[in-house]
Amino acid sequence: MASIFSKIVAGEIPCYKVAETESCFAFLDINPVQKGHVLCIPKKEVDYLFDLDEQLYGELTQFARRVAQSIKKVCPCQKVGVAVLGLEVPHAHIHLIPLQNEGDMNFHNHVKLTEEEFKQLAAELAANFE
């Protein structure tokens, strides 16, 4: 059965899309730990990040770098933090989270955004993706 993220890539489940390349896709995390929390995934469904073949792993990390540059422009932050968990969704993904301080990378803490805020944020990130 396809993962929830494969369904997002296929357009079967809605998301707040941020960016896309031939092999990778980025969208807002639906339960963000900070405003600007983005997930970067390979379109190909592979559970564990470090099981990706070298080429796709390279494409995903380069894609995540470009997405992080967009987050840095749009979201007030010192740096964009990177995390890999993968304990909930068995489809490799890189979490990108704007950070002002160390405590901002806390997966037990969540921020609430309205539908409009999600939409506007995704549009701004998409517009700044280079």
Residues lying near ligand AMP in the complex (CB under 6 A): 4, 13, 15, 27, 29-31, 39, 85-89, 93
Least distance (Å) between residue 6 CB and ligand AMP:
11
Contacts of 31 (CB under 8 A, 6+ apart): 110
Least distance (Å) between residue 1 CB and ligand AMP:
15
Three-class SS state of 57: helix
- Strands ordered across the beta sheet of 24-28: 17-20, 24-28, 38-42, 94-99, 79-83
Q: Closest CB to ligand AMP among 33 and 130? A: 33
- Where does 37-83 show beta strands of DSSP type E? 38-42, 79-83
Of 130, 124, 129, residue with least CA distance to 16: 124
Least distance (Å) between residue 93 CB and ligand AMP:
6
Q: Closest CB to ligand AMP among 96 and 130? A: 96
Q: Closest CB to ligand AMP among 29 and 52? A: 29
Q: Which residue numbers are catalytic?
A: 93
